[in-house]
Every structure is written in C-alpha cells, then in structure tokens.
Amino acid sequence: MARPKKHAILVIHGPNLGLLGQREPEVYGRVTLPEINDELRSLAKEHKVKVEIVQSNHEGEIVDTIGKSKDTFDAILINPAAYTHTSVAIRDALLACGLPCVEVHLSNIYAREQFRHNSLIAPVAKGQISGFGKQSYALGLLAIINLLDSARK
C-alpha cells in the first residue's frame, strides 16, 4: 500500500517574537525563537510531518505568506503576537486560505492587560492555546497533527 503523504504545516511567528530571550523575560521566559523552532522541528520529525517556519514583523508580509499557503500546506500554526489583537487583515487571510489554523501564545493573554483579552484570530481558528510558555507551541503542533490525522480517517 502507498505510504500516505506527510502533513505539511506552516508555522508563523508574528512581530517581536524574534526578540524572545531578551524581550520581557518575566513574561515570556528566557527561551529563544531558535530554541522553540528546534523543538518544533524535532517534534515534527518524531510525528513524521513537515514544518516550514517563518517569522515576520510585518502584517502585509504575514498576509502574503498566508495567501500563498493553500496549495503547499495542510494547516497553519500561528502566534500572531500583537496582531492577534488588531489585525482584521490576518484574520481575513486565514479565512480566505481556508486551511485549519491553531493560534498559540506563550503568555496567558487573558491574565494580562485588558487590550490583550480580545483575539480577532480566535473565532476563525480551530482553537487557541495560551499561557504555557514554549510548551504552547508543542501543544499547538500536536493539536494540528491530531486534527489532520482525524480528517484523514
């Protein structure tokens, strides 16, 4: 029997996440983005899925990346960072591409300032994981793999 095609997952890190490790360590911890990415790549390898990882500080660039994702990827894992709370454009791009998406946050956005309590992305995502530090990404990736595996059955 032919082996099923590997799931391909696009991981998007939004603005300022490239500064993890130095940025507000009391909120985000000391973990760096390359460390998070290494963990995602090894988890992906373990589960036999492909991941492509991008980071951008620019809303339009994130919109373009999502817009081109439909034919190449099966799902999106996104930490939209500050754009979570402001970006109708990223929300619309996710809706337009139609891929299942999981939203993640290192910090618990509901335990922080009022303006972070609203996510424009959450209503168009399959779900949201918030508050588990770097583990939020691993949990998000596992949630996507689960979703894709269940859709295949």
117 is an active site residue: no
Given 77, 105, 120, 128, the residue binding ligand DQA (CB under 6 A): 105
Is residue 85 annotated as part of the catalytic site, yes or no? Answer: no
**11 in contact with ligand DQA (CB under 6 A):** no
Q: Is 107 in the site for ligand DQA (CB under 6 A)?
A: yes
Pick between residue 28 and residue 73 the one whose CB is nearest to ligand DQA: 28
**49 forms part of the interface with ligand DQA (CB under 6 A):** no
DSSP string over 54-77: EE-S-HHHHHHHHHT-TTT-SEEE
In the complex, the smallest distance separating the C-beta of residue 96 from ligand DQA, rounded to whole angstroms, is: 22
**Helix (H) and strand (E) counts in the chain:** 5, 5
The distance of closest approach from Cβ of residue 31 to ligand DQA in the complex, given in angstroms and rounded to an integer, is: 11
Query: Tokens 């988890």 map to which residue?
Result: 43
**Looking at 13, 83, 105, 137, which residue is catalytic?**
105
The 8-class DSSP code of residue 111 comes to G
CA pair distance 50, 66, nearest whole angstrom: 17
Residue 37 near ligand DQA by CB under 6 A: no
With contact defined as beta carbons under 8 Å apart, do 49 and 7 qualify? yes
Residue 79 near ligand DQA by CB under 6 A:
yes
Angle at 56 between CA 16 and CA 115, to 5 degrees: 50
Amino acid (1-letter code) at residue 36: I
Catalytic residues: 28, 105
